[in-house]
């Protein structure tokens, strides 16, 4: 990454903290929710590793490309599964409810999985760009500007919604045991902001 080392270490701290929060959400989750939390935790760790203000090793970019390509494909598969199941806007099948009238905890699962897939693809792109710069130093800024700005736009557009979900009472009506919707939204916002900053400092 380009920029002052202090910025790199700040991105490392934000990414690692966001990944740690997501890791804590893996245990209480179940099914697609657990996979999503694990995917975000791995993404946070990968972002922290990429943001380190040191030159990456020769194997780091290919490993990251393979890892996050797998993550993106998994999230796309989950989004497709949720769409085929006919999930409504609040995370469960339209018109369905749990025993006792409880509503499913997840909100907009298709959009959530697609957002995670987009983040994983951004990680693939950054790993590829960093690998290209490592193999051919001094050839100018890595990456393709059009792709970089397209990814930045895709990541920035959901930010207002993520910020809104940090407000008390704006999360799902029923959360899984051990989960804090506002804390999850804060970790999403922090990691998305860090990813945008990393894209802009390629």
Give one DSSP letter per residue of 31-89, joined into a string: THHHHHHHHHHHHHHHHHHHHSSSPPPTTHHHHHHHHHHHHHHHHHHHHHHHHHHTB-T
pLDDT digit string, tens, across residues 54-108? 766 655 778 888 889 998 998 898 888 888 876 544 444 444 433 333 333 344 6
pLDDT digit string, tens, across residues 144-160? 889 999 999 988 888 88
Phi-psi region of 95 (alpha: psi -120 to 50; beta: other; left: phi over 0): left
pLDDT value, residue 69? 92
Question: Which of the given ranges, 6-20, 26-40, 46-60, 76-90, has the highest pLDDT on average?
Answer: 6-20
User: With 60 as the cut, is the pLDDT of residue 34 above it?
Assistant: yes
pLDDT value, residue 121? 92
pLDDT value, residue 174? 44
**CA distances, 29 to each of 38, 121, 141 (Å):** 10, 24, 40
User: How far is residue 125's CA from residue 25's CA, in Å, rounded to a whole number?
Assistant: 27
Q: Average pLDDT of 180-185? A: 74
């Amino acid at each position: 990454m380009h920029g002052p080392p202090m910025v790199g270490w700040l991105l490392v701290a934000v990414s690692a903290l966001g990944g740690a929060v997501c890791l804590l959400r893996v245990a209480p989750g179940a099914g697609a929710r657990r996979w999503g939390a694990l995917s975000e935790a791995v993404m946070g760790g990968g972002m922290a590793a990429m943001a380190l203000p040191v030159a990456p090793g020769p194997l780091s970019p290919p490993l990251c490309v393979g890892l996050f390509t797998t993550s993106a494909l998994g999230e796309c598969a989950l989004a497709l599964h949720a769409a085929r199941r006919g999930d409504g806007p609040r995370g469960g099948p339209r018109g369905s409810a749990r025993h006792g009238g409880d509503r499913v905890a997840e909100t907009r699962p298709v959009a959530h999985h697609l957002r995670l897939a987009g983040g994983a693809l951004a990680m693939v792109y950054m790993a590829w760009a960093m690998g290209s710069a490592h193999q051919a130093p001094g050839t100018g800024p890595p990456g393709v500007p059009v792709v970089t700005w397209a990814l930045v736009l895709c990541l920035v557009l959901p930010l207002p919604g993520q910020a809104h979900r940090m407000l008390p009472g704006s999360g799902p009506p029923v959360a899984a045991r051990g989960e804090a919707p506002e804390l999850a939204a804060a970790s999403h916002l922090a990691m998305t902001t860090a990813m945008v900053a990393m894209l802009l400092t390629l």
